[in-house]
Structure 1
Amino acid sequence: MTITDHPLVKKYLAAVARESAGLSPERRNELLADLEEHIAVALAEGSAFGDDEIRAVLARLGDPRTIAATALGEELPAPQTSRGRTLALLGLLASTGPLMFFPPVLVPALIGAIWWLWAAPQWRSRDKVIGTVAALVPPLFVVSQWVVPAGAVNLGLGALFLPFALAVVALPAAAGVYLLRTARRPA
Structure 2
Amino acid sequence: MKTSADRVSDYLSAVEREASALPADRRRELLADLAEHIEVTRAEHPDAALGEVLSELGDPRTIAATALAEAGNAAGSGTPARGGAGVPVRRGRVHPLVPLLMLTVPYLAATVVTDVPALQLCSGLFRIVGAVLLCTSVHWSPVRKTVGVLLTAVLPTVAIFIWEETTVAPAGDTPALVANLVMLAVLTGTAAWLWRSRRA
Q: TM-score, normalised by structure 2?
A: 0.48
Superposed counterparts of 1:35-184, under 5 Å: 73=24, 76=27, 77-78=29-30, 80=90, 85-101=95-111, 102-136=119-153, 137-149=155-167, 152-154=168-170, 162-184=177-199
Indicate how the Cα distance of structure 1 residues 120 and 159 shifts in structure 2: closer, same or farther if over 3 A, else same.
Answer: same
Count of paired positions: 122
- Deviation per CA, 1:63-106: give whole Å up to 9, x if none: xxxxxxxxx93873535489981122221122243244442112
Once the two structures are overlaid, the 10-residue window that deviates more, 107-116 or 78-87, is: 78-87
RMSD in angstroms over aligned alpha carbons? Answer: 3.8
Runs of at least 4 residues off by over 6 Å: 81-84
Cα distance in 2, alignment partners of residues 167 and 120 from structure 1: 27
Cα distance in 1, alignment partners of residues 105 and 173 from structure 2: 27
Cα distance in 2, alignment partners of residues 173 and 81 from structure 1: 28
Which ranges in structure 1 are unaligned for 5 or more consecutive residues?
1-16, 18-22, 32-71
- Give the SS at the match of 1:97: helix
Which gives a bigger RCO, structure 1 or 2 (Cα 8 Å, sep 6+)?
1
**1:93–1:173 Cα contact (<8 Å) kept:** no
Q: Identity of counterpart residues, as a percentage?
A: 15
**1:89–1:113 Cα contact (<8 Å) kept:** yes
Cα distance in 1, alignment partners of residues 161 and 187 from structure 2: 17
**Structure 1 residue 176: Cα displacement:** 1.0
Cα distance in 2, alignment partners of residues 133 and 109 from structure 1: 16
Cα distance in 2, alignment partners of residues 129 and 100 from structure 1: 24
Cα distance in 2, alignment partners of residues 148 and 85 from structure 1: 38
Cα distance in 2, alignment partners of residues 135 and 161 from structure 1: 18
Cα distance in 2, alignment partners of residues 175 and 138 from structure 1: 12
Cα distance in 1, alignment partners of residues 121 and 15 from structure 2: 50
Give the number of the structure whose alpha-carbon radius of gyration is greater. Answer: 1
Indicate how the Cα distance of structure 1 residues 30 and 142 shifts in structure 2: closer, same or farther if over 3 A, else same.
Answer: closer
Which ranges in structure 2 are unaligned for 5 or more consecutive residues?
17-22, 31-66, 68-89, 112-118
Corresponding letter in the other structure for 1:93: L
**1:94–1:176 Cα contact (<8 Å) kept:** yes
Cα distance in 2, alignment partners of residues 93 and 24 from structure 1: 37
Superposed counterparts of 1:4-43, under 5 Å: 26-28=11-13
Cα distance in 2, alignment partners of residues 181 and 175 from structure 1: 10
Corresponding letter in the other structure for 1:163: V
